[in-house]
Copies of this chain bind each other. A is one copy, B any other.
Amino acid sequence: MSLLEDTVAAIGSLAAPAMAAARERQGMLTKPPGSLGRLEELAIWVAGVTGEPVPRPLERRAVVVMAGDHGVTRQGVSAYPSAVTAQMVRNFAARGAAINALAQGVRARVVVADLGVAADLSDVPDLRHHAIAPGTRDMARGPAMDRDQARRALERGVTILEEEATCGLDVVCSGAAPEVVTGRGTGLSDAGLRHKAQVVAHALRLNGPDPTDGLDVLAKVGGFEIGGLAGLMLGAAARRIPVVLDGYIAGAAALLAATICPAVRDFLVAGHRSAEPGHAIVLAHLGLTPLLDLGLRLGEGTGAVLALPILDAALAMHSSMATFASAGVAGADVAATQAESTA
């Protein structure tokens, strides 16, 4: 089998015994059951992903930002010229981008990968060079890439995950730059937005991707960085590493990964709801409710790393709170009985 098939074959399901033990522990902590809402769910989820009833802190953390150019930008569907992709990659490497500022604050390393930027980036320090081609072809005139390129994009994502796991990786955030989608992306006018929607509709009609075939969708209307991110997610799921999704592009990559292997969804959490329209639909398809809703539409992984402190809080609460027994506090059962008898 190839790397892609091997990876998919290694993806299991959430560890039910660890989750049951984590759920039981939650009921013993000095708080009314359920009163910490999603923090409780997150702690139980990480237990299921890692197989540890009381997971250790997620200390080794990376945000992987993948970049690639899209041939369809020739149709004028982005507010930024294609050259901006390369400039942004250089800005990531120089640590001047938003993701650098946010990742530093949560002690996440920033891993930037070129999956197919239409520029020579050989001089950029610390860049992971995984370019498939200098940008995809124009999907308004035919498939964005061929099927072999789609497979290679996915497998390079797996490879990047494997490399990071070798360095040590407890949680991975997925990001992409720039965002090229059917919304305003990062700064499109009303007229530009209408044109973009027309171009995308035309490309879908022209290419007729098979929605049940992930490789076909990726090849016909995808992008190299979307394939790379999907591969990253499959690789993380195979190694039981929790994945925090950023916005629209990461969501699209997650849909692609779930088409290839539905079980991957169990290993994903949505960091935030993007201000990009349509993201809510993507999340609903994935069955994910985002942790944050702060009106972000930048990409880069910003909405994913912002969610890391919430995961941290969930695990800290789960591991370090006192139990009713240890603290000598009356539990909910006893107390509720007393209150009812008074009422």
Q: A84-B335, A90-B327, A295-B37 are in contact. Are A187 and B313 (CB under 8 A)?
A: no
CA distance A98 to B31 in the complex (A): 8
- For A295, what are the chain B residues with a Cβ–Cβ distance below 8 Å? 37-38
Once the chains bind, are B322 and A96 in contact (CB under 8 Å)? yes
- For A316, what are the chain B residues with a Cβ–Cβ distance below 8 Å? 101-102, 104-105
A293-343: which residues lie under 8 A (CB-CB) from chain B? 293-298, 302, 306, 309-310, 312-313, 316-317, 319-322, 326-330, 332, 335-336, 338-340, 342-343
A sample of 28 cross-chain residue pairs with beta-carbon separation below 8 angstroms, ordered by A number, consists of A29-B98, A31-B98, A32-B79, A32-B298, A35-B186, A36-B302, A37-B294, A75-B343, A76-B340, A77-B343, A79-B332, A79-B336, A79-B339, A81-B338, A83-B330, A87-B328, A87-B330, A88-B329, A94-B327, A96-B326, A96-B327, A98-B317, A98-B321, A100-B321, A101-B316, A102-B317, A104-B320, A291-B294
Nearest neighbor of A312 in chain B, beta-carbon distance = B105
Once the chains bind, are B30 and A96 in contact (CB under 8 Å)? yes
Nearest-CB distance from A23 to chain B (Å)?
A: 16
Q: A191-B340, A336-B189 are in contact. Are A313 and B97 (CB under 8 A)?
A: no
Of the residues B32, B39, B77, B294, contact of A294 by C-beta under 8 Å: B39
Nearest neighbor of A323 in chain B, beta-carbon distance = B96
A94-128: which residues lie under 8 A (CB-CB) from chain B? 94, 96-98, 100-102, 104-106
CA distance A39 to B313 in the complex (A): 20
Of the residues B33, B186, B187, B310, contact of A187 by C-beta under 8 Å: B33
Of the residues B79, B291, B335, contact of A81 by C-beta under 8 Å: B335
- For A298, what are the chain B residues with a Cβ–Cβ distance below 8 Å? 31-32, 35-36
Nearest-CB distance from A34 to chain B (Å)?
A: 8
CA distance A252 to B305 in the complex (A): 32
Of the residues B96, B102, B186, contact of A32 by C-beta under 8 Å: B186
Closest A-B pairs by Cβ, 6 of them: A37-B295, A96-B322, A76-B343, A76-B342, A32-B187, A309-B309
